[in-house]
């Protein structure tokens, strides 16, 4: 597995397994299958309500803790100093772990500065090996970096062939922040899996559209965490390290960019209010 070295020296796999929208009762099986297929990076979140099932799969897998890279995320209602401390304890308890490899602020809303100060302290203690953010546009990212001690190691943002984030990635690189893609397949939107350009490129390399997309992201040095509940697709999605896209392939995929989200605009006041007030627990 290829890896990237984060800004604090921690090694992060370039490809992992995401568990968003996997129901809690299916998550243990899915993660067990993913670990058996060779995935070592697992991406969950308090908001996904499946951290316990991820923890059970880790425990029963027998995979050594130091071979795993586990990410979870802080939900908006738990931002702020005291609530973040409790949220980290709760997530670690659900996962059955003493530490996570990466802890992300899930959304750029609420008291993220209070949360960040606590995360910096927990990072120094080793309970959070690396800390980062998700869904931060570049202006918010720069502000967080410029007014705190520790710069985020990662920014996990929507990134796929139809929303490529090249300018954002450039800014992150300048600031030492690793970009991580969520929704690498755009969850199949825009007919991604039957896209003729991606299909033609895959045909020439003997690879599927899914494999072309993941390879394209990894070649751009974007970390990927595709989700699937099917073992055959898990195997397909990790089998992307035995071929390389040509400059021409990369240029043709670059031309698919629409420059806009297929999901939501994190700067839209309606989205800020809707996500910012979504509560996991009363
Ligand atoms: P995704 O990985 O882009 O797409 C998942 C969809 O693609 C599922 O419907 C899956 O179906 C299908 N699929 C997977 N592999 C396939 C293949 N080889 N061929 C055809 N179809 C395939 O979407 P995502 O789950 O939203 O994103 C990935 C991860 O990013 C999440 O699981 C989560 O960890 C993270 N994420 C983070 C945020 C955030 O705000 N930070 C937001 C969204 C997602 P099956 O399962 O039926 O195979």
**Minimum-distance ligand 1 atom for the alpha carbon of 227:** 2
Q: How far is CA 246 from the centre of its chain?
A: 26
Beta bridge partners of 157: 181
Candidate list 39, 48, 103, 109, residue with the active-site label:
48
| pLDDT for res 280 | 82
The question of whether 48 is a catalytic residue gets the answer yes
**Domain count along the chain:** 1
Q: Model confidence over 18-77: pLDDT tens digits?
A: 999 999 999 999 999 999 999 999 999 999 999 999 999 999 999 999 999 999 999 999
Q: Which of the four pLDDT bands, split at 50, 70 and 90, describes residue 252?
A: very high
CATH of the domain at 54: 3.20.20.100
Ligand 1 and 228: CB distance under 6 A: yes
Cα(229) to centroid(ligand 1), Å: 9
Residue 31 lies in a domain: yes
Residue 59 lies in a domain: yes
Q: Give the count of alpha carbons within 13 A of 58, CB side only.
A: 27
- In terms of Cβ atoms closer than 10 Å to its own Cβ (0-12, 13-18, 19+), residue 187 is middle
Q: Model confidence over 181-240: pLDDT tens digits?
A: 999 999 999 999 999 999 999 999 999 999 999 999 999 999 999 999 999 999 999 999
Residue 281 lies in a domain: no
Range of the domain at 106: 3-276
Residue nearest atom 9 of ligand 1, based on CA coordinates: 187
Residue 236 lies in a domain: yes
Residue nearest atom 44 of ligand 1, based on CA coordinates: 182
Edge-to-edge strands, sheet with 41-43 = 17-18, 41-43, 69-74, 102-105, 131-134, 154-158, 178-182, 223-224
Ligand 1 and 237: CB distance under 6 A: yes
SS3 per-residue string spanning 113-154:
HHHHHHHHHHHHHCCECCEEEECCCHHHHHHHHHCCCCCCCE
Residue 282 lies in a domain: no
- Assess whether pLDDT exceeds 80 at residue 281: no
Q: pTM to 2 decimals?
A: 0.97
Residue 54 lies in a domain: yes
Residue 25 lies in a domain: yes
- Assess whether pLDDT exceeds 80 at residue 282: no
Residue 208 lies in a domain: yes
Ligand 1 and 183: CB distance under 6 A: yes
């Amino acid at each position: 597995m290829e890896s990237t070295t984060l800004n604090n020296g921690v090694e992060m796999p370039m490809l992992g397994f995401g568990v968003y929208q996997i129901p809690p009762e299916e998550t243990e099986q899915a993660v067990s299958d993913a670990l058996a297929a060779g995935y070592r990076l697992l991406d969950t979140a308090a908001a996904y309500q499946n951290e316990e099932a991820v923890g059970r799969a880790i425990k029963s897998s027998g995979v050594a803790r130091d071979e795993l890279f586990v990410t979870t995320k802080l939900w908006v209602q738990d931002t702020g100093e005291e609530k973040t401390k409790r949220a980290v304890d709760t997530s670690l308890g659900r996962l059955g772990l003493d530490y996570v490899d990466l802890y992300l602020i899930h959304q750029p809303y609420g008291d993220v500065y209070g949360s960040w100060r606590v995360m910096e302290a927990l990072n120094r203690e080793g309970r959070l090996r690396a800390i980062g953010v998700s869904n931060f546009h570049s202006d918010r990212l720069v502000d967080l970096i410029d007014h705190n001690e520790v710069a985020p190691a990662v920014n996990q943002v929507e990134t796929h062939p139809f929303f490529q984030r090249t300018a954002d990635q450039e800014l992150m690189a300048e600031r030492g922040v690793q970009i991580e893609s969520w929704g690498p397949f755009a969850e199949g939107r825009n007919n991604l899996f039957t896209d003729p350009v991606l299909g033609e490129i895959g045909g020439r390399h003997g690879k599927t559209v899914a494999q072309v997309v993941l390879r394209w992201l990894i070649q751009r040095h974007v970390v990927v965490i595709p989700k699937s509940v099917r073992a055959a697709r898990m195997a397909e999605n990790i089998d992307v390290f035995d071929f390389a896209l040509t400059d021409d392939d990369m240029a043709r995929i670059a031309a698919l960019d629409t420059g806009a989200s297929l999901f939501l605009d994190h700067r839209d006041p309606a989205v800020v209010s809707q996500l910012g007030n979504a509560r996991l627990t009363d």
